[in-house]
Amino acid sequence: MASSWCWSCLSRLRATPTPRAILPPQSITPRITTASFHSSAVQYANPTKKKGSLVAVKYRQGQTLRRKKKKTTERARPPAVGERKALRKRIVLSNPNALEIEGMQDLSSETMVDARLRGSVLGLPVPMLDQLRAVQAFKPKQGWSIFRRPGTVLRRDTLEMARLFEKISGEGDGAEKGKVVKKIITGLKGSGKSVHLLQAMAMGFLKKWVVVTVPDARDLVSGDTSYSPIEGTNPTQYVQPNAVSALLMRTVEANRQVLSSLKVSQKHSALPSLKPSSTLEDLAKLGFQDAAVAWPVFQALWTELTATAAAPGMEKDFKPRPPMLVTVDGIGHWMKESAYRASDYTPVHAHDLVFVKHFLSLLLNGQASLKNGGMVLYATSTSNNPSIYTLDVALDQLAARQTGVSPSSPEYPAPEAYSGADARVLELFKPTTGKEPQFELQTLGGLTRDEARGYLEYFARSGLLREEVNESWVGEKWSLSGGGIIGELEKLGRHVRTTAQPAPVLN
């Protein structure tokens, strides 16, 4: 039954129901809001249920035990957009807590060819770090962040490469100026392929070469950058203007000193805005602002860098062009169909992307293309790497040819029948004909024990490793790292093995 008390003002309701007819219609009477006027609606209302007096049994519901879900703690806000990626891609090159190593030498033109320093860690020159950052030579997971300053081991392959740099630059004995060395670098995971490229870039900067890099080949085929078809090509080729623009930016940032000293020496009809007296830096900067002209700018820059003589009428302040270093990391991504689609929704092969094709063609005609000499180093990658059967076969073929197996002999590796091998990839790795030398396959293995010792001593002298680095200990680690695989050695070196002090007795 309804309570005779008003809920809101505690005044007594009228006990007897008022006839409805007495009440004037609501629309006529002015509404009084101040005094509480009790209408019959209250009395006609259903009686209010007492709380908890009657629990309706729900027959159609399950009788199983329901547990409360654990409340997730409310964080103030999720991290800002891009913060996680920035954290993931962050590259830290210095740890102020690590000890400064006394007597550590820098990489220089003299030390990089000094065989006595083999096995020691040479620091990368501090002014060069900005250049190396610009060409994205450092990778996020390479563990530079625990040392005072970045340094690399001078291993056998490094020394050999340094001698090549010296030869191509036209220094030392047996100089071969204008030669182009083309190499594909492979090796096990953690064997130092990317750092090998980094060392090459550092040497290139030391020798004042022009360094052009593709730090991650995947960026060009993963479908993340814009692409557009080129008119009148068959099969249709695609240009990636933003990727080219980024490449120009990297190249200018890293090679500013060299490029600003060279003047334009050819006529570029595609670039009418280019002044004849401008430097190559100005030329490349044209591609920064307008991505649409990035590809013609890149082509123009390439012709300038590979020119051996000025065009007629532009001989004034022509300087001989320096050799070039071209590096690509993660070449496996370029040996398959890309994530891009053609207009009929068929996948676009990576070799149809004109940017990719340009770099791959250097393997076939590098000597003819890079007229001022240089080095073409393309490395495979083992992290985030597509598994491509044809590339494996092609690399096997290359290795077989290098060991002297004739392509016509039965031992020569061939793709299995019905394996769907990619003909374009096999075509690329075909033995070259004519004057053009064949590109080589360089497989990076482990460090020798002496080199491993030098590397681990670097950890110990940085204060990160608290072990006695002696012959037996190094031998143990060398074996544990699969025969001196440097990535594994690094793990063993940074692995904290010190036993903590015995727990203090709490009183």
- Of 21 and 506, which has the nearer Cβ to other proteins? 506
Report how many residues bind other proteins under the rule CB under 8 A.
27
Strands 374-379 and 180-187: parallel
CB of 142 to other proteins, least distance (A): 13
- Identified binder of other proteins from the candidate list 83, 100, 176, 317, rule CB under 8 A: 83
Binds other proteins (CB under 8 A): choice among 89, 316, 341, 466? 466
**89 contributes a contact to other proteins by CB under 8 A:** no
**Closest separation between CB of residue 73 and other proteins, Å?**
5
**Residues of this chain, 1-30, that bind other proteins according to CB under 8 A:** none
Fill in the DSSP letter of residue 307. Answer: -
Contact 447, 455 (CB under 8 A): yes
Least Å distance between CB 451 and other proteins? 25
Residues 286-345 that bind other proteins (CB under 8 A): none
Q: How far is the CB of 93 from other proteins (least distance, A)?
A: 11
Q: Is 123 exposed, middle or buried (0-12, 13-18, 19+ CB in 10 A)?
A: middle
Nearest Cα to Cα of residue 427 among 465, 464, 378, 390: 390
Per rule CB under 8 A, is residue 75 in the interface with other proteins?
Answer: yes
- The region of 46-54, 216-224, 460-468, 480-488 touching other proteins under the rule CB under 8 A is 460-468
Is 69 an interacting residue with respect to other proteins (CB under 8 A)? no
Element (H, E) at 363: helix 354-369
| HEC secondary structure over 417-477 | CCCCCCHHHHHHCCCCCCCCCCCEEEEECCCCHHHHHHHHHHHHHCCCCCCCCCHHHHHHH
CA–CA separation, 110 vs 486, rounded Å?
24
Instruction: Provide the residue count of the chain.
Output: 507
Would you count residue 84 as binding other proteins (CB under 8 A)? yes
Q: Per rule CB under 8 A, is residue 189 in the interface with other proteins?
A: no
User: Looking at 274-282, 367-375, 438-446, 496-504, which segment touches other proteins (CB under 8 A)?
Assistant: 496-504
CB 152 within 8 A of CB 107: yes
Kindly write down the DSSP assignment for every residue of 107-134, as one continuous string: P-TTGGG-GGGTTSEEEPPTTHHHHHHH
Q: Which amino acid is located at 99 in the chain?
A: L
CA 502 – CA 505 distance, rounded (Å)? 9
* Shortest distance in whole angstroms from residue 506 CB to other proteins: 6
For other proteins, the closer of residues 316 and 466 by Cβ is 466
The single residue among 1, 22, 32, 76 that binds other proteins, judged by CB under 8 A, is 76
Residue 501 binds other proteins, judged by CB under 8 A: yes
In the complex, what is the shortest distance from the CB of residue 383 to other proteins, in angstroms, rounded to a whole number?
Answer: 15
- Figure out which of the listed residues 36, 79, 189, 423 binds other proteins, where binding follows CB under 8 A: 79
Q: Considering only residues 39, 97, 242, 260, which one is a binding residue for other proteins as defined by CB under 8 A?
A: 97
- Min. distance of Cβ 460 from other proteins in angstroms? 12
Question: In a 10 Å sphere around its CB, with 0-12 CB exposed, 13-18 middle and 19+ buried, how is residue 39 labelled?
Answer: exposed
Give the separation between CA 136 and CA 93, rounded to whole angstroms: 13
**What is the distance between the alpha carbons of residues 248 and 139, in angstroms, rounded to a whole number?**
20
Tell me how far apart the alpha carbons of residues 20 and 44 are, in angstroms, rounded to a whole number: 11
Minimum separation from the CB atom of position 76 to other proteins (A): 6
CA-based R_g, the chain, Å: 36
Point out which span in 130-138, 299-307, 439-447, 461-469 binds other proteins (CB under 8 A): 461-469
User: How far is residue 259's CA from residue 126's CA, in Å, rounded to a whole number?
Assistant: 21
DSSP label of 78: P
Which region among 15-23, 291-299, 428-436, 459-467 touches other proteins (by CB under 8 A)? 459-467
Q: Which is nearer to other proteins, 55 or 506 (CB)?
A: 506
Structure tokens at 116: 């006595």
Binding residue for other proteins, selected from 464, 474, 489, 492, defined by CB under 8 A? 464
Considering the rule CB under 8 A, would residue 81 count as an interface residue with other proteins?
no
Helix axes 280-289, 294-306, angle to 10 degrees: 160
Taking CB under 8 A as the criterion, which residues in 115-174 touch other proteins? 145-146
Amino acid of residue 263: K
> Least CB distance from residue 387 to other proteins, whole Å?
22
Q: Among 75-83, 254-262, 300-308, 421-429, which window interacts with other proteins (CB under 8 A)?
A: 75-83
Q: Name 4's Cβ contacts closer than 8 Å, sequence gap at least 6.
A: 12, 13, 15
Shortest distance, position 487 Cβ to other proteins, whole Å: 14
Would you say 84 or 177 has its CB closer to other proteins?
84
Other Cβ atoms less than 10 A from the Cβ of 266: the count is 13
Residue 407 tokens read as 């392509």
Q: Give the binding range for other proteins (CB under 8 A) out of 49-57, 76-84, 232-240, 426-434.
A: 76-84
User: 251 and 326 in contact (C-beta within 8 Å)?
Assistant: no
Binding site for other proteins (CB under 8 A): 73, 75-77, 79, 83-84, 87, 92, 95-99, 145-146, 463-464, 466, 496, 498-501, 503-504, 506
